[in-house]
Structure 1
Amino acid sequence: MLKSLTRRISCGLTVVLVAALAGPAPASADSYNGECGSGYGVVNSASVSGGTVHLTYNNSNGRNCVVVTRSNPGSAMDMDAALKRSDSTSWKTDPGSFTTYAGPVYLDAAGQCVDWGGSIGGAWVVRNGTNCG
């Protein structure tokens, strides 16, 4: 939709301003779209071939969450989201065949470093010892 505004300037000139009015741009498919739920905000992210891994945190409950989103959703493909405390050897994961995103994977880790990552179609990215406190 276009909206035209006409304004007369004091020297007698008329200026016509045209502005495009539209709703917000649609979110890209690989942007974080609130998949972890209310109260979670992105605190870190990493590109992976075909999308993005998002690390989120909820200040009110001290929980982290990881979601892997695809740039171009389509037919289902192997994906995984992974998260653990850096001082642990036990990963929480969500492997499967997904069309849009993998996860969410949650972990209580207030004040602790986390290792997190994800995969799309076998391509992995992992970040170790981040977001400490």
Structure 2
Amino acid sequence: MRSNRPALALGVLAALTLGATTALAAPASAAPGTTPQKVCGSSYRTVNSAAVGSLGTVYLTYNASNGTNCVTTIRNTPGTAVDMSAWLYITDTDQGDDDYGRYTSYAGPTYVYGKGHCVDWGGQIKNVYVQISASNCASLKEKRVTYTR
């Protein structure tokens, strides 16, 4: 009687290889219900946000214990990977961070020290871009721009 062990072992190896390849090829993503705190960290509180059309929201968060801002762009409905971005820039210190790529659920996190500074930040999902300038600057009025390409 012949043994099926070689065939079974080959089948298991093929399945594991396919699973590992799929897992390694998948872009950063999160389960539905992702929050800015799940992306940036539990000590970050949302201080501002802006809709990215009807596709999602870009969030500006702040950690008061270390003076660091974080930005993440989160899709309303995760799905096939699309072009996404999240970025953050402190003009007067010339410090910034960004994340551009193809993601299924969110872009970011991006971090920059921003205590006592005005913040420029934004994000993108597919062809919809949001840019917020001079944000969280006490009495100064921020400027918001949304555009499509």
TM-score (norm 1): 0.73
Structure with the largest fraction of strand: 1
Q: Which contiguous aligned blocks of 4+ residues in structure 1 show a shift greater than 6 angstroms? A: none
Q: 1:9 — aligned with what?
A: none
Cα separation, partners in 2 of 1:126 and 1:30, compared to 1, 3 Å = farther
d(CA) in 2 for partners of 1:61, 1:122: 34
Q: CA RMSD in A?
A: 2.0
Note if contact 1:77-1:121 (Cα within 8 Å) is conserved in structure 2: yes
Note if contact 1:29-1:72 (Cα within 8 Å) is conserved in structure 2: no
Extract unaligned runs of 5+ from structure 2. 1-31, 139-149
Which residue among 67, 78, 98 is the counterpart of 1:73? 78
d(CA) in 1 for partners of 2:127, 2:44: 27
1:47 aligns with 2:61: no
**Max Rg structure:** 1
d(CA) in 1 for partners of 2:81, 2:101: 9
Q: How does 1:32-111 map to 2 (within 5 A)?
A: 32-49=36-53, 50-87=55-92, 91-111=96-116
Return the letter of the residue paired with 1:130.
Answer: S
Return the letter of the residue paired with 2:83.
Answer: D
Aligned-pair identity in percent equals: 47
Q: 2:26 — aligned with what?
A: none
d(CA) in 1 for partners of 2:34, 2:66: 26
Aligned residues: 107
TM-score (norm 2): 0.66
Return the letter of the residue paired with 1:37.
Answer: G
Note if contact 2:39-2:109 (Cα within 8 Å) is conserved in structure 1: yes
Cα separation, partners in 2 of 1:97 and 1:52, compared to 1, 3 Å = same
